[in-house]
Chain A
Amino acid sequence: AQSVSQHNHHVILSEAASLELGCNYSYGGTVNLFWYVQYPGQHLQLLLKYFSGDPLVKGIKGFEAEFIKSKFSFNLRKPSVQWSDTAEYFCAVKRPHGGGNKITFGTGTQLKVEL
């Protein structure tokens, strides 16, 4: 079964610090990769996604992620975080062939940005 690992469960940063959240998945075939964000009390929103092409993906609000196939990783980055980035971040993986439309989410990383 495929799994998604987010090793950082809680991250605390000061404003303007750089961010990198790790995401690794276990499936070796073709995958679609997503990062979702959940602001406090709100629903999940898509930050960015990768399904083919340039492995460096740009998303909303200055976020980007790099797909490294050899490392089964899709880490999320932002060069300078803001207080408003405080949220829960979820990495997700989908198998476009044979996965039955199922997306598997990681356990999430809670990011707190302090002023």
Chain B
Amino acid sequence: DTAVSQTPKYLVTQMGNDKSIKCEQNLGHDTMYWYKQDSKKFLKIMFSYNNKELIINETVPNRFSPKSPDKAHLNLHINSLELGDSAVYFCASSQEQGGGETQYFGPGTRLLVL
């Protein structure tokens, strides 16, 4: 069974469209994350949710809106897509207990904006 899953795996879309990426974890973790990995492989955190509550919101355009319907899901909705949004988006989860917890990553969603 896949611990952290993301759909879709690939997403090709036109500029200006709105799209969503879904993430689900079956590890029972209470914290989930979204990361963006650019073409140079630089990995940067975007958001973190703990028990459905937003706890990290990095400097991300407000076109990006995370939604956590329950602690096993963290979806990412992107409005008015731009060329610069092309990247690989990784979801991750962890069970936070005060330090040292491992983050488990999903397979990534490769977004290409044309």
Q: Which residue of B lies closest to A46 (CB)?
A: B102
Please report the C-alpha to C-alpha distance between residue A105 and residue B104 in the assembled complex, in whole angstroms.
14
Please report the C-alpha to C-alpha distance between residue A34 and residue B104 in the assembled complex, in whole angstroms.
12
The answer to whether A32 and B99 touch across the interface, beta carbons within 8 angstroms, is: yes
Is A72 in contact with chain B by the CB < 8 A criterion? no
The answer to whether B43 and A105 touch across the interface, beta carbons within 8 angstroms, is: yes
Q: Which of A32, A42, A104, A110 contacts B100 (CB 8 A)?
A: A32
The answer to whether B99 and A51 touch across the interface, beta carbons within 8 angstroms, is: yes
The answer to whether A110 and B41 touch across the interface, beta carbons within 8 angstroms, is: yes
Is B50 in contact with chain A by the CB < 8 A criterion? yes
Please report the C-alpha to C-alpha distance between residue A9 and residue B43 in the assembled complex, in whole angstroms.
14
Residues of A within 8 A of B41 (CB): 38, 88, 107-108, 110
Is A28 in contact with chain B by the CB < 8 A criterion? no
Chain A residues with CB under 8 Å of chain B are 30, 32, 34, 36, 38, 42-46, 49, 51-52, 88, 90, 94, 96-97, 100-105, 107-108, 110
